Amino acid sequence: MNIVIVGTGYVGLVSGSCFADKGHHVYCVDNNQSKIKDLKNGIIPIYEKGLKSLIDRNTANGHLEFTTSLKDAVGEADFIFIAVGTPEMTNGEANLEYVYHVADELSEVLDDTRYRVIVDKSTVPIGTAYEVRKRIARNIPTAAFDVCSVPEFLKEGSAVHDTLHPDRIVIGTDSEKAQKRLVELHRPFSNQLFVTDIRSAEMIKYASNCFLATKISFINEIANLCDAYGADIKEVAAAMGLDKRISPHFLNAGLGYGGSCFPKDIKALINMADQVDYDATLLKAVQQVNTKQKYRVISHLHNVFDHELAGKKIGILGLAFKPNTDDFRESPSLFIIHELVKQAATVVVYDPVVGHKARLPDKVEIMEEVTSVFDHVDAVVLMTEWPEFIHLPYESLKHKMRTPVVIDGRNALDPVELKNNGFIYHGIGVR
């Protein structure tokens, strides 16, 4: 099959290279010239485990090509996937400008020489596929095509693995012909193909992400209660997770969700509800909890330092919103750094992949070595649970610190060991 993927971000690039690896011919299209130039030279703009070798292999055998020209790519295409960004606007609504732009472009460049399945992979509000269809049809009323929704569920940090071994693939379509083709195309990836109508498919994506966000906010609230009542959130979460109706995933208490998806998808669904006059109370509460949760770190620091952080030097471990990714959009770490700077603390930071990519306040120093984060600091705060942070020689690093304070925003460290080594330790809901 000939496949075109429009947009080479996390989603487009990963699904494009995975399709290529199954033997299809894939064109990845992006209007960002320098990105395409890099990709052609084997430079991968994002960090994902296994992605580079996948791309190298499939560009070498000619299955995977990169271009900036949508027109050149779509000529022979059987499938066209739209995987461009859908960032949030200030009111939380999903910005469909990029998706519609692609639709309008397709309307210019498609011809009626063959039937095509056009697929929304981007996360889009309910009903968007119908608008995309209308826009594409504008200049080519006779072209044979269907617009379907196949929402993406990959997670940054394990994107390649998730694409090759998904729990399920959701296919939303109202056309039998498109359904048949999409089932055929996705069958090699999963036995669990869930076919439904377009609107429900679009909703499944939002509902799934929002549920996981709800789970995170829920366990964070319980962690806060554990702090108040002397229970231990790790114990509570572990036993809750044994209940099959609950499942152990997404029950790690911490500083809340971040990244490019959960925050924006929650806001978008709240906005969608608002637009149909439904007040999504529960979702709003989930979001409020998340907004507040990051400041637990600050309040722990306040408790330790008697509400005065001015002049204190704080070392931050981690910038990415979670480990194994270089994505720091909406990362709690950034909020905390800004807050600390606002409170006149001195901040030094280390992250193994984000490094200098993040835009930080001027005064913040980015370290090249993880151990430098401990030099003469009053406290170290773990913000991303990168494996290398968990296995640091804390006992010896303690001697570099001004005061041995560790705030563990991810409950990733062993409290007993640290306390035995003379640290003042605070996690989120752990004793």
Partner 1 sequence: MKIAVIGTGYVGLVTGVCLSDIGHTVICIDVDQEKVKRLQSGDPIIYEPGLEDLMKKNIEKSRLSFSGNHQTGLAGAEVVYIAVGTPQNHDGSANLNYIEAAATDIAKNITQDTVVVTKSTVPVGTNQHIKEVITVNLVHPVKVTVVSNPEFLREGSAIQDTFSGDRIVIGTDDEQAAYIIEEINQPFGIPVYKTDIASAEMIKYASNAFLATKISFINEIANICEKTGANVDAVAAGMGLDNRIGPKFLSAGLGYGGSCFPKDTNALVQLAGNHEHDFKLLKSVIEVNNNQPLHLFQKAKQRLGDFKGKKIAVLGLAFKPNTDDMREAPSTLLIQQLLEEGANVTAFDPIAIENARRILGDGLTYSESIDETLQDAEATFIVTDWEKVKNIDLATLEQRMKYPIVFDGRNCFALEAVKTANIEYYSMGRSDIANREKLAVGGSNK
Ligand X SMILES: NC(=O)c1ccc[n+]([C@@H]2O[C@H](COP(=O)([O-])OP(=O)(O)OC[C@H]3O[C@@H](n4cnc5c(N)ncnc54)[C@H](O)[C@@H]3O)[C@@H](O)[C@H]2O)c1
Catalytic residues: 261
Task: Report the residue number, 127 or 311, with the smaller CB distance to partner 1.
Answer: 127
Task: Report the residue number, 50 or 248, with the smaller CB distance to partner 1.
Answer: 248
Is residue 163 near ligand X by the rule CB under 6 A? Answer: no
Candidate residues 43, 225, 344, 416; the one interacting with partner 1 per rule CB under 8 A: 225
Task: Consult the annotation and say whether 23 binds a ligand.
Answer: no
Is residue 310 near partner 1 by the rule CB under 8 A? Answer: no
Is residue 373 near ligand X by the rule CB under 6 A? Answer: no
Return the H-helix or E-strand segment holding 403.
none
DSSP code per residue over 168-182: -EEEE-S-HHHHHHH
The two tokens of residue 253 are: 């208490």
**Of ligand X, partner 1, none, which one sits near residue 32, judging by CB under 5 to 8 A according to partner kind?**
ligand X
Residues comprising the chain, all counted: 431
Task: Consult the annotation and say whether 152 binds a ligand.
Answer: no
Candidate residues 173, 214, 224, 260; the one interacting with ligand X per rule CB under 6 A: 260
Task: Consult the annotation and say whether 419 binds a ligand.
Answer: no
Candidate residues 64, 147, 154, 223; the one interacting with ligand X per rule CB under 6 A: 154
Residues 6+ away with beta carbon under 8 Å from 229: none
How far apart (Å, rounded) are the C-alpha atoms in residues 214 and 236?
17
CB 75 within 8 A of CB 9: no
Is residue 102 near ligand X by the rule CB under 6 A? Answer: yes
Here's the x/- map for ligand X, 66-85, by CB under 6 A: it reads as -----------------xxx
Please state the closest distance from residue 402 (CB atom) to ligand X, in A. Answer: 39
* Interstrand relation of 379-382 and 313-317 (parallel, antiparallel or unpaired): parallel
Is residue 424 near partner 1 by the rule CB under 8 A? Answer: no
Question: Which parts of 30-49 interact with ligand X (CB under 6 A)?
Answer: 30-32, 35
Residue nearest to ligand X (CB): 9
Please state the closest distance from residue 232 (CB atom) to partner 1, in A. Answer: 5
**Of partner 1, ligand X, none, which one sits near residue 194, judging by CB under 5 to 8 A according to partner kind?**
partner 1
Number of shown-chain residues binding ligand X (CB under 6 A): 26
Closest CA to 263 of 334, 213, 305: 213
Is residue 132 near ligand X by the rule CB under 6 A? Answer: no
How far apart (Å, rounded) are the C-alpha atoms in residues 195 and 167?
14
Task: Report the residue number, 70 or 203, with the smaller CB distance to partner 1.
Answer: 203
| Helix, strand and coil in the chain, % to nearest 5 | 45, 15, 40
Task: Report the residue number, 13 or 255, with the smaller CB distance to ligand X.
Answer: 13
Residues 6+ away with beta carbon under 8 Å from 60: none
Task: Consult the annotation and say whether 163 binds a ligand.
Answer: no
How far apart (Å, rounded) are the C-alpha atoms in residues 138 and 104?
8
Task: Consult the annotation and say whether 86 binds a ligand.
Answer: yes
Distances (CA, A) of 420 to 338, 394, 413, 417: 32, 11, 13, 5
Distances (CA, A) of 208 to 153, 170, 193, 262, 289: 9, 12, 16, 10, 18
Question: Which parts of 155-214 interact with partner 1 (CB under 8 A)?
Answer: 167-168, 170, 192, 194, 196-197, 199-204, 207-208, 210-212, 214
Task: Consult the annotation and say whether 292 binds a ligand.
Answer: no
Distances (CA, A) of 172 to 94, 120, 205, 268: 20, 10, 11, 20
Task: Consult the annotation and say whether 35 binds a ligand.
Answer: yes
DSSP code per residue over 298-330: HHHHHHHTTT--TT-EEEEE--SSSTT----TT
Closest CA to 428 of 241, 228, 240: 228
* Binding span for ligand X by CB under 6 A among 97-105, 192-200, 276-284, 367-375: 97-105
Residues 6+ away with beta carbon under 8 Å from 141: none
Q: Which residue has the tokens 């507040």?
A: 292
Cite the annotated binding site for NAD(+) by residue number: 30, 35, 86, 123, 156, 264, 329
- Contact residues toward partner 1 (CB under 8 A) are 126-127, 153, 167-168, 170, 192, 194, 196-197, 199-204, 207-208, 210-212, 214-215, 217-218, 221-222, 224-226, 228-232, 235-236, 238-240, 242-247, 249-250, 269, 272-273, 276-278, 280-286, 288-289
Judged by the rule CB under 6 A, the positions of this chain that interact with ligand X are: 6-12, 29-32, 35, 83-86, 98, 101-102, 122-123, 152, 154, 156, 260-261
Q: Could you tell me which residues are annotated as the binding site for substrate?
A: 153-156, 205, 250-254, 258, 322
